[in-house]
């Protein structure tokens, strides 16, 4: 059967070929509230061991998140950034669910507050392994917030 759909000038493929508009659905949830629920064409997750990109029809995934910036691109070309602090991400049938202890939308993070958090983290004592680990996590959180706030 011959497909008579009009062709996309950029790709040469029929318009309906490939990725549909906003095929992914992304939820970011903390113990207190749902921080974000949106449709997306791509998502970049800050996994504990690096970044993971998610597109339409990705194989199922369950991963541990690190501290960092979650990037969600919508079909309008807009990118939303969300600070996340650990937790887990599940990708299944184009549904992305992120469960995290802390999350904040980029527009709710100020550069001044992020720099204050970094100063406080750097001032934390590191007397033993537990306090050194807590200090490192606080510094990582503050640096991620600075990155999302735009320095």
Q: What is the pLDDT of residues 65-82, one digit of tens each?
A: 999 999 999 888 889 999
pLDDT at 17 over 70: no
Q: What is the pLDDT, as a whole number, of residue 84?
A: 96
For the segment 3-21, the average pLDDT, to the nearest whole number, is 48
Tokens of 90: 């599940």
* Beta carbons within 8 Å of 68's beta carbon, 6+ residues apart: 46, 51, 83, 84, 144
Q: Are 115 and 146 in contact (CB under 8 A)?
A: yes
Per-residue pLDDT, 16: 44
3-state helix, strand, coil in the chain (%, to 5): 25, 40, 35
Taking 80 as the threshold, does the pLDDT of residue 112 lie above it? yes
Pairing of strands 95-99, 24-29: parallel
Structure token pair of residue 65: 């998140």
DSSP-based three-state secondary structure for 14: strand
What average pLDDT does this structure show over 99-108? Answer: 94
Using CB atoms within 10 Å of the CB of residue 88, give its burial: 0 to 12 exposed, 13 to 18 middle, 19+ buried.
middle
Give the tens place of pLDDT for each residue, 45-58. 999 999 999 999 89
What's the pTM? Answer: 0.77
Fold of 24-106: ATP Synthase; domain 1 (2.60.15)
């Amino acid at each position: 059967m011959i497909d008579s759909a009009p062709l996309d000038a950029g790709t040469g493929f029929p318009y309906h070929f490939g990725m549909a508009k906003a095929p992914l659905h992304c939820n970011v949830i903390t113990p207190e509230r749902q921080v974000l629920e949106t449709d997306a064409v791509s998502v970049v997750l800050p996994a504990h061991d690096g970044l993971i990109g998610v597109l339409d029809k990705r194989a199922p995934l369950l991963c541990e998140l690190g501290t960092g910036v979650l990037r969600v691109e919508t079909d309008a070309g807009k990118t939303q950034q969300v600070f996340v602090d650990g937790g887990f991400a599940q990708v299944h049938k184009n549904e992305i669910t992120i469960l995290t202890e802390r999350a904040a939308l980029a527009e709710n993070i100020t550069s001044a507050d992020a720099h204050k958090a970094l100063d406080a983290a750097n001032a934390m004592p590191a007397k033993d392994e537990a306090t050194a680990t807590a200090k490192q996590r606080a510094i990582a959180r503050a640096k991620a917030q600075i990155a999302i706030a735009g320095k």
